[in-house]
Amino acid sequence: MYMLNNNYITGLIDGEGSFAVYVYNGEVSNRKRRVRIEPKFCIKFKEEDKSILYDLKQFFKCGHIYLQKDSRPNHKNCYRYEVSKRDDLLNIIIPFFKKNPVKLKSKKRDFIIFCEIMNAISLKQHLTSSGLTKLYQLKQKMH
């Protein structure tokens, strides 16, 4: 088990993590999905480094770890730690990174937008067509 501390976690996320939002809007995207907006916090490592992901899961006490198979030549299978439960994002992940900000400008920008989107979701703005379109446009500013 790695000795995880706040600075170590922030460094991992700066290098390998992401704050992502997938928006499926019939007016903007032709995909048909049950869930119209999916915010996620995730980090991915090669199989030999997956133990760090289990430590992160234990540290945050939320999320799931998945095998992400890759059949491309010269690529290896990876494991992905992902938090997508909205309550966990709002009550665990966002507060942690507000107290322990990432350092990279691009990652900071993504986190700020991620927080804006999560706030809009908590206000149920994503349930209207105009709100979902607004969130899609906001998401487009993310890396």
pTM of the model: 0.87
Q: Is 14 exposed, middle or buried (0-12, 13-18, 19+ CB in 10 A)?
A: middle
Please give the helix or strand (H or E) that residue 117 lies within, else none: helix 105-122
Is residue 39 within 8 Å of residue 142, measured between CB atoms? no
Is residue 39 within 8 Å of residue 84, measured between CB atoms? yes
Distance CA 37, CA 17 (A): 20
Q: What's the DSSP call for residue 67? A: E
Per-residue pLDDT at 132: 87
- The string of pLDDT tens digits covering residues 65-109 is 999 877 767 667 899 999 999 999 999 999 999 999 999 999 999
| Residue at 98: amino acid letter | K
CA-wise closest residue to 116 among 19, 36, 44, 18: 19
Structural domains in the chain, CATH included, are 6-139 (3.10.28.10)
- The string of pLDDT tens digits covering residues 18-76 is 999 998 755 545 555 445 789 999 999 988 899 999 999 999 999 999 998 777 676 67
Q: What's the DSSP call for residue 90? A: I
